[in-house]
């Protein structure tokens, strides 16, 4: 028999209760959190789709390995296992542990960037951009045009615009470009994948101009699965072979193990460059820790060493990508404006299409996320005007899917909640900002509902 249902490739050994609440209670919780879902106590959330980062469920093998952590200050055997495990998949010579992705970014840009430099990418993640700007350099996004459109039917919407990259290099000269980055999958563009062909082309341009190519590899395994299933010539290759082939086209990477490391904390920085690695280790010792633990406990290194291998497993990836696609398809079938095709780690709702009566200055994404929470206790996040102010080109609600945490029935529930919200969409009101901080205001902003849609924002 060829089974039609793709089942979760695990059985559940430990369970964590989730907390039910009534709509009336959630109205109180939301008011107390100033209509900002980041400010809600997590125990007041039933299904938490705020992020896919760090809330992965670990396996029995990972928990067993945690007990094997060798917490010696230097010479820990846990580091040896961690380094060997990373090298098997990523292939780079130096592996420098960090406490999470952004610490790897800070060290990378701290050693490679200076004021006035430009770092092109298919799209930089927020923390990557912030770290580049911190060193006085410019973070430049060069996605293909399909990456900037919702619902472009391109199998690799996450690709970089290679002719544009060449133009930029010609215009500013390779000396001002210390490295080029590729974010795989392209998180700011909906977790959309990057093709091997695109990586090859970017690699060729970089080689021609002698510019190193680095990957932001947070979701490398999900990207490998898309290459296997969508790119001609890769059907017979394993995701692990694909990942190794891809990483060979670059000079190093930053990695957050909180995503495709299937861990709750951790990350690393990798490079083939001996001189750079030494400088990076010097910086690591200054703020993170010794070069064999980099601010992690040895037990965390053990969990990551196993997690990255479980993340590249074919059966796991089949389930992972299918479950994100399952949620996306069912929302689309219910008539909701979702980004299609789905990315690797999240589903995105177009809040401007969902709530055309709420103008962007009244935060349609945040308003929709609040209503989804009120209706069913589901926490999502806004990517739009609250996050990026008037620079926002879209207002989206992101349903990020933690790894191995929720099952198909949780997704069925989310679809039911959304169908209810869709029915009452015309009664949803916009929000008004009552307090904002200077940096990354979406984390701490206070908002309140606008009583009448005609009120000023």
Residue whose pair of structure tokens reads 């909701």 in the numeric block: 336
The 3-class SS string of 219-262 reads CHHHHHHHHHHHCCCCCCCCHHHHHHHHHHCCCEEEEECCCCCC
Give the distance from CA 26 to its chain's centroid. Answer: 28
CB closer to ligand F0G, 128 vs 195 = 128
Q: How many residues bind ligand F0G (CB under 6 A)?
A: 16
Window contacting ligand F0G (CB under 6 A); options: 95-103, 281-289, 388-396, 416-424: 95-103
**Options 26, 102, 228, 403; binder of ligand F0G; rule CB under 6 A:** 102
Of the candidate spans 121-129, 205-213, 366-374, 419-427, the one that interacts with ligand F0G by CB under 6 A turns out to be 121-129
- Cα(71)–Cα(148) distance, rounded to whole angstroms? 46
CB-nearer residue toward ligand F0G: 254 or 362: 254
Q: Residue 53, interface with ligand F0G (CB under 6 A)?
A: yes
Residue 358 touching ligand F0G (CB under 6 A): no
Is there binding between residue 129 and ligand F0G (CB under 6 A)? Answer: no
Q: Which of 267, 294, 337, 365 binds ligand F0G (CB under 6 A)?
A: 267
Helix or strand run (H / E) with residue 388:
helix 385-388
3 state SS of 336: coil
Q: Is 125 in the site for ligand F0G (CB under 6 A)?
A: yes
Strand (E) or helix (H) holding 283: helix 274-287
Q: Find the binding residues for ligand F0G in span 166-185 (CB under 6 A).
A: 183
Q: Nearer to ligand F0G by C-beta: 307 or 430?
A: 307
Residue 407 near residue 425 (C-beta atoms within 8 A): no
Task: Supply the minimum distance, in Å, between the C-beta of residue 105 and ligand F0G.
Answer: 7
Instruction: State the Cα–Cα distance between residues 384 and 394, nearest whole angstrom.
Output: 6
Kindly state the smallest distance separating residue 44's Cβ from ligand F0G, in Å.
Answer: 20
CB of 193 to ligand F0G, least distance (A): 13
DSSP 424: T
Q: Which stretch binds ligand F0G (CB under 6 A): 81-89, 98-106, 159-167, 195-203?
A: 98-106
Write out the binding residues for ligand F0G, residues 281-310 only, by CB under 6 A.
none
Buried b (16+ CB within 10 A) or exposed e, 111-142: bbbeeebbbbbbbbbbbbbbbbeebebbbbbb
Give the span between the Cα atoms of 178 and 138, in whole angstroms: 11
Among positions 182-221, residues that touch ligand F0G (CB under 6 A) are 183, 187, 216, 218
Binding site for ligand F0G (CB under 6 A): 51, 53, 100-102, 125, 127-128, 183, 187, 216, 218, 256, 258, 267, 400
């Amino acid at each position: 028999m060829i089974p039609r249902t793709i089942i979760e490739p695990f059985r559940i050994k430990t369970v964590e209760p989730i907390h039910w609440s009534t709509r009336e209670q959630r109205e109180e919780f939301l008011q107390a959190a100033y209509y900002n879902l980041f400010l809600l106590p997590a125990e007041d959330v039933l299904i938490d789709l705020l992020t896919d980062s760090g809330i992965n469920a670990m396996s029995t093998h990972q928990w067993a390995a945690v007990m094997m952590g060798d917490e010696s200050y230097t010479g820990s055997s846990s580091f040896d296992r961690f380094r060997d495990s990373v090298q098997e998949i990523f292939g780079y010579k130096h592996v420098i542990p960090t406490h999470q992705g952004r610490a790897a970014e800070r060290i990378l840009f701290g050693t490679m960037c200076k004021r006035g430099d430009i770092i092109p990418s298919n799209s930089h993640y927020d923390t990557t951009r912030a770290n580049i700007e911190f060193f006085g350099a410019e973070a430049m996004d060069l996605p293909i045009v399909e990456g900037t459109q919702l619902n472009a039917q391109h199998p690799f919407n996450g690709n970089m615009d290679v002719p544009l990259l060449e133009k930029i290099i010609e215009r500013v000269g390779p000396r001002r470009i210390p490295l080029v980055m590729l974010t795989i999958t392209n998180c700011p563009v909906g977790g959309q994948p990057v093709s091997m062909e695109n990586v090859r082309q970017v690699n060729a341009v970089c080689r021609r101009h002698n510019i190193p190519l680095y990957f932001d590899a947070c979701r490398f395994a999900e990207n490998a699965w898309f290459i296997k299933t969508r790119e001609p010539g890769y059907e017979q290759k394993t995701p692990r072979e694909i990942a190794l082939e891809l990483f060979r086209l670059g000079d190093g990477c930053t990695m957050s193990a909180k995503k495709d490391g299937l861990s709750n904390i951790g990350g690393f920085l990798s490079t083939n460059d001996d001189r750079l690695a030494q400088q990076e280790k010097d910086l690591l010792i200054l703020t993170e820790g010794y070069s064999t633990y980099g601010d992690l406990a040895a037990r965390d290194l053990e969990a990551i060493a196993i997690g990255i291998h479980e993340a590249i497993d074919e059966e796991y990836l089949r389930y992972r990508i299918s479950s994100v696609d399952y949620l996306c398809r069912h929302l689309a079938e219910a008539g909701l404006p979702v980004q299609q095709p789905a990315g690797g780690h999240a589903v995105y709702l177009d809040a401007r299409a969902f709530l055309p009566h709420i103008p962007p200055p009244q935060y349609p994404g945040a308003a929709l996320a609040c209503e989804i929470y009120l209706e069913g206790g589901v926490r999502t996040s806004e990517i739009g005007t609250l996050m990026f102010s008037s620079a926002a080109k879209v207002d989206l609600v992101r349903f990020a899917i933690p790894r191995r945490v929720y099952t198909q029935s949780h997704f069925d529930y989310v679809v039911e909640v959304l169908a209810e919200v869709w029915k009452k969409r015309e009664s949803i009101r916009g929000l008004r900002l009552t307090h904002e901080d200077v940096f990354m205001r979406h984390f701490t902003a206070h908002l309140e509902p606008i009583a009448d849609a005609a009120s000023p924002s």
